[in-house]
Amino acid sequence: MRTKKNIILQGAPGVGKTYTAKRLAYSMMGVKDQDRIMMVQFHQSYSYEDFIEGFRPASGSNGFEIKKGSFYHFCKKAADDQENEYFFIIDEINRGNLSKIFGELFMLIENDKRGNALQLLYSDEKFYVPRNVYIIGMMNTADRSLAMLDYALRRRFAFFDMKPGFESEGFRAYRAELNSEKFNRLIACVESLSNTITSDESLGEGFCIGHSYFCNLEKADDAALRSIVDYELAPLLRNIGTMTGQRPTIGSTG
């Protein structure tokens, strides 16, 4: 992260990308400072005008004026506080038209181009991305309906693959605290399903079931487990089944 300045966390839904992005930022800052983190979500209507600047209707008149976007304001804030690190987190980074959103920032976000200024598209202002700004993008590898990331952007980011953390030290401690045989059987079933999904040539690791579906339970009683299975896992598996022409089932948690 310190070397590249820009990274993308990629993995199946529910592997903890958002949680990891924030924890990474706090870890590098050495303090949990929300004021130095900003999070946005890209979508198909998100534009350069939202991200940097653009003409918007002026309040109280029939004309237009230049309005600054989220990344512009964030960079200006970071530039006034060069002693501290700032983190701009982009959820669903592959859902936006990246070439359109980033514009001339393709060059400015590179590590060795930080501090260099370019004239912005709509204004005469010179703009640069400060060296103390880090960009963390997140994307679901299961989202195949979207175009591949632009190569020009891809080479400016480092990519980190995230996988379900059922065998992590934290999740094992969580299971031990719940102390539920039914919960353990459900996790074993899900891990088996994920292995099947991974080995399917039409799917792969990007469609595995993440561990976050099962986190934050105070107790693993029948009602809680049934709710996860009926309203989260079953719809997910039905969606996967439509892609393969199969009908995967999760069995019974009882």
Same domain, yes or no: 110 and 32: yes
Q: What is the pLDDT of residue 145?
A: 46
C-alpha distances in angstroms, 199 versus 13, 141, 207? 18, 16, 11
Residue 249 falls within a domain, yes or no? no
Residue 127 falls within a domain, yes or no? yes
Please give the structure tokens belonging to residue 237.
Answer: 């598996």
Q: What is the pLDDT of residue 13?
A: 87
Residue 251 falls within a domain, yes or no? no
Residue pLDDT, tens place only, 158-170: 999 999 999 999 9
Residue 253 falls within a domain, yes or no? no
Residue pLDDT, tens place only, 19-53: 999 999 999 999 999 999 999 999 989 999 999 99
Same domain, yes or no: 67 and 95: yes
Same domain, yes or no: 27 and 131: yes
Supply the range of the domain harboring residue 209: 169-244
Same domain, yes or no: 146 and 178: no
Same domain, yes or no: 119 and 240: no
pLDDT band at 242 (very low <50, low <70, confident <90, very high): confident
pLDDT band at 73 (very low <50, low <70, confident <90, very high): very high
Laid out side by side, the sheet with 133-140 consists of 37-41, 86-91, 133-140, 6-11, 158-162
Q: What is the pLDDT of residue 136?
A: 97
> What is the mean pLDDT of the segment spanning 223-247?
84
pLDDT band at 250 (very low <50, low <70, confident <90, very high): low
Residue 250 falls within a domain, yes or no? no
Q: What is the CATH number of the domain that holds 46?
A: 3.40.50.300
Residue at which a domain ends, from 162, 182, 202: 162
Please give the structure tokens belonging to residue 57.
Answer: 């209707």
Please give the structure tokens belonging to residue 236.
Answer: 């997910």
Same domain, yes or no: 63 and 151: yes
